[in-house]
Amino acid sequence: MPKQKTNRSARKRFKLTKGGKVRRNKAFRRHLLAGRSTKRKRNLRRPGFVSAAETRTYLRLLGEG
């Protein structure tokens, strides 16, 4: 049976935590930031996590599932 290939674009965007969760960056942080509050921009800096319903899909893309 051949080796499973990792999706290269997914590998650059997502990381696995030790607990098996998939970490991702949040959207809406590229431009047009002047109209957003400082609090909102600060919270966008922190990583988000992929929802439990989609975790299996992302693990498969990362070659873990």
- List of domains in the chain: 8-61 (4.10.410.60)
Instruction: Please list the alpha-helical segments (H only) found in the chain.
Output: 8-13, 38-45, 55-61
H or E stretch covering 61: helix 55-61
Tokens of 51: 């929802």
What pLDDT, on a 0 to 100 scale, did the predictor assign at position 5? 87
What pLDDT, on a 0 to 100 scale, did the predictor assign at position 51? 96
Contact (Cβ atoms closer than 8 angstroms) between residue 6 and residue 63: yes
Contact (Cβ atoms closer than 8 angstroms) between residue 49 and residue 22: yes
pLDDT confidence band for 40 (50 / 70 / 90):
very high
Taking the model in full, what pTM does it have?
Answer: 0.80
pLDDT digits (tens, 9 = 90+) for 4-31: 889 999 999 999 999 999 999 999 999 9
Q: Residues near 63 by Cβ (< 8 Å), separated by ≥ 6?
A: 4, 5, 6, 7
